[in-house]
Amino acid sequence: MRFAIGRMNSSSVLPLFHVVGFSGHRSVANPAGVARAITAALALLRQEAAGEWIALSSIAIGSDQLFVKQAQALGLSWHAILPLPKAEFQKDFLPAEWLTAEELLACAEHERVIAENGSREDAYLDCGMETVDGADVLIAVWDGQPARGKGGTAEVVHYAKSLGKPVLVIDAVTLELRRENFERLERTDQTLVNLNSLPVGSAGWGENPFDAPAPIFAFQQKCDFAASHGAPQFRRLIVLTVGLHVLATLIAAAALSFDLHFTVIPWLKLLCLAGALGVAVILRQHHHSQHNWVRCRLAAEFCRSGLATWGLPRAAPLFEDLDLPIMRGLTRSLGILHTRSAGAQPVSMEEFRRIYLEKRIDDQLKYYRRQEARAVPLLRRLRLGFWVATLLAMTCTLAYAVCHTAHLIVPPALETSLFYFLPIALPVIAASFISLISINDLQRRVARFREMQLNLSNSRQRVMFCQTWNSLEKIVSRTERAILQEVLEWHSITSFAESH
């Protein structure tokens, strides 16, 4: 069933979409039989997995057009994927055939051209491979024979099998339907299910900048709320673990250096180590909460990018080349919904530019400036602590070497502190400062905060100068991709830290 935007204003749930790709021969002996077999295959898929199925195919004569017509007859939306620009693709059709193809293309919900240049055979092969890459399942009308040319159905089917994609093969002669790799069909998207089940919440933007459908805005708000209020504070817990180990080391060093034999000292050491171990256990037990937090933050930022471009006359292909498995259901849903509503409530270019500058670029600039203002002083203090501790350790060691070599007499209290305790304690403290810089990822974050401010400032100037929708779309897409790249980089680092 199609996602009815107007009927879901009180909801915060995004629909699940599946994509069925198609490849088939241009010439089939029994078109009516092939059409019935395609209908049966599509009906089977709708029974196998809930959610809305999207048809994805080219529009070549023969099987492609049969597939499109049967998909439309069943109420499926169709996304056209063309190997060549229309003017060039048209050369492969007779005039009457092209008229039929144009009528079908007019009904496409989305249209994408694969190759703007290069050989025709390469374009057809690339189109087939892109169809497989963009689909969850491939339906193929195939006679089982080798391809008659580059980009033929046989090559497309073999490519799908090599990726382990579920394939429904319709024998072009017998019309028998055969399943392959069907155990790998993903019938649902657990990440999207979990995100949809989040309780309603509000955070971040207090308003819907471009009047995107209410369910999408509400979905973004609850993901943002969950991420803001569900952060498991892993970095603080790791810092606590480091601090407890350093404290245990300092207690041990003091006991040895000052010859302390109080009963409480070993218990204090044991308490510190047990505390550090307890924190480590908590970290492992809260692995799931860390995963949920990362997932919610990713979803919130992806939705924020989508919402920031909703006022464009065409849906920005923000997630077209993004292949993050845990977010695939979400990004597909956002892309399809944006395509369906693009231009439904257009705003003027001046209004879009004003809102985008204020609600997106300026907000992001403030965010990165605020983050830099927090990170830089901490980085400076930790660096200073490292250098002070290291230089003091070197000074103590040098003093010990000079006094020992020259046989100088040093007061016992000063000798114990300067020659024994501090040379042990200070390097440990210096190492802890470096560890804190690494744990908090401060050097990279400061560099990225400054880089993002520069990128956003440049984007701001370009957006202000834009006089056409085309140029504005390009700059907005480039800006959002830069922001998403920072989000993905954060995800990679956070996930890596989580695995340790």
Query: Rounded to an integer, what distance in angstroms lies between the CA atom of residue 382 and that of residue 433?
Result: 5
Tens digits of residue pLDDT in 240-299: 899 999 999 999 999 988 888 888 999 999 999 999 899 888 877 776 777 888 899 999
pLDDT of residue 5: 38
pLDDT of residue 203: 67
Q: Across the chain, what does the average pLDDT equal?
A: 89
What are 80's strand-pairing partners?
Answer: 57, 111
pLDDT of residue 10: 46
pLDDT of residue 146: 80
pLDDT of residue 4: 39
Mean pLDDT of 38-66: 94
Tens digits of residue pLDDT in 336-353: 999 888 766 568 899 999
The domains located in the chain, with CATH, are 17-184 (3.40.50.450), 214-498 (no CATH)
100's tokens:
């039929």
Tens digits of residue pLDDT in 386-437: 999 999 999 999 999 999 898 888 888 888 998 999 999 999 999 999 999 9
Mean pLDDT of 470-496: 88
Radius of gyration of the CA atoms of the chain, in A? 31
Assess whether pLDDT exceeds 90 at residue 42.
yes
Asked if 217 and 307 touch (Cβ cutoff 8 Å), the reply is yes
Assess whether pLDDT exceeds 60 at residue 500.
no
pLDDT of residue 189: 93
486's tokens:
């920072």
pLDDT band at residue 147 using 50, 70 and 90 as cut-offs: confident
In 3D space, the residue among 475, 440, 460, 463 whose CA is nearest the CA of residue 364 turns out to be: 460
Mean pLDDT of 29-45: 95
Tens digits of residue pLDDT in 195-244: 999 988 776 666 788 888 889 999 999 999 988 876 667 778 888 899 99
Mean pLDDT of 463-471: 92
Asked if 149 and 158 touch (Cβ cutoff 8 Å), the reply is no
Percent of the chain with pLDDT over 90: 65
Query: Rounded to an integer, what distance in angstroms lies between the CA atom of residue 201 and that of residue 487?
Result: 22
Sign of CA dihedral 213, 218, 219, 225: positive
Which residues have C-beta within 8 Å of that of residue 54, sequence separation ≥ 6? Answer: 17, 18, 19, 20, 76, 77, 78, 79, 109, 336
pLDDT of residue 108: 93
